[in-house]
């Protein structure tokens, strides 16, 4: 447990020098959980991002996974990507004192001065329509950002918290901000459902009301980013009409 007085009650805190991936470690620990647990690693030897991509992790950057055993239906469980994004936004504001510098990019990135500073990856396991465990993996460029050659063409430039704001924060210090922020947003989600989370997320959304491109594995949609609906889908107003997109890569 953390000695931080603000650390959420009943949430475990594991800090590891090195691990293959905090998401993989979360899956290993999940069957034995007494309650939610944060797993932070100072080094990952096999980190991964969305769609199985490698995730670059220079020394001093943040890699942690929150693992829990939720009770809701899978489609509700998946909405925690928005809960996590808001908690990250809260923690960044506390760490930097610059809340206006951050924005949230659908479905699961945090932007700082228009560049990508953090990413979220959800992984879950279960059967028969139930989720046995959920792991929320979070990677943050605290002190260093990968080079442009390490991201796909058209992707946003990676930035670091240090280079953009001058805030020098260690991974453990950031976890002590993020864990209470997540606990507060989680309590809101459990008590009031997705609607207040959706409203708060949209208030921080990048490029809301502007033209964006959403690419799925099979097609590309261009249109005005209208909203995120009650199921977490991206809603675009396109030349072919209004479209709700459940999963895609977004390009500006």
Domain at 12-203: CATH architecture: 2-Layer Sandwich (3.30)
Bridge-based pairing of strands 102-105 and 249-251 is: unpaired
CATH topology of domain 211-251: SH3 type barrels. (2.30.30)
For position 49, what pLDDT does the model report? 61
This prediction has a pTM of 0.94
Give 12-48 pLDDT, tens digit per residue: 999 999 999 999 999 999 999 999 999 999 999 887 6
Enumerate the domain spans of the chain.
12-203, 211-251
Answer yes or no: is pLDDT of 51 > 60. Answer: no
For position 151, what pLDDT does the model report? 72
For position 56, what pLDDT does the model report? 64
Confidence of residue 4 (pLDDT cuts 50, 70, 90): confident
Answer yes or no: is pLDDT of 148 > 80. Answer: no
The half-sphere exposure of 55 on its side-chain side, counting CA atoms within 13 A, is 30
For position 2, what pLDDT does the model report? 52
């Amino acid at each position: 447990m953390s000695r931080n007085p603000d650390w959420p009650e009943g949430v475990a805190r594991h800090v590891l020098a090195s691990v293959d991936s905090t998401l993989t470690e979360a899956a290993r620990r999940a069957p034995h959980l007494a309650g939610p647990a944060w797993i932070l690693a100072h080094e990952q030897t096999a980190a991964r991002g969305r769609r199985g991509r490698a995730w670059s992790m220079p020394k001093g950057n943040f890699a942690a996974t929150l693992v829990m055993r939720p009770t809701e239906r899978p489609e509700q469980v998946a909405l925690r990507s928005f809960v996590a994004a808001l908690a990250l936004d809260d923690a960044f504001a506390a760490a930097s004192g610059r809340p206006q510098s951050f924005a949230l990019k659908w479905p699961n990135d945090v932007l700082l001065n228009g560049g990508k500073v953090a990413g979220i990856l959800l992984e879950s396991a279960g059967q028969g329509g139930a989720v046995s465990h959920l792991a929320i993996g979070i990677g943050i460029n605290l002190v260093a950002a990968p080079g442009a050659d390490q991201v796909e063409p058209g992707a946003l430039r990676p930035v670091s918290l240090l280079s953009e704001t001058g805030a020098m924060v260690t991974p453990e210090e950031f976890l002590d901000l993020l864990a209470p922020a997540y606990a507060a947003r989680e309590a809101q989600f459990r008590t009031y459902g997705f609607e207040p989370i959706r409203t708060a997320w949209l208030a921080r959304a990048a490029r809301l009301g502007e033209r964006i491109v959403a690419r799925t594995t099979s097609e590309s949609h261009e249109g005005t980013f209208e909203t995120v609906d009650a199921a977490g889908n991206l809603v675009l107003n396109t030349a072919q009409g209004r479209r709700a997109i459940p999963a895609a890569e977004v390009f500006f």
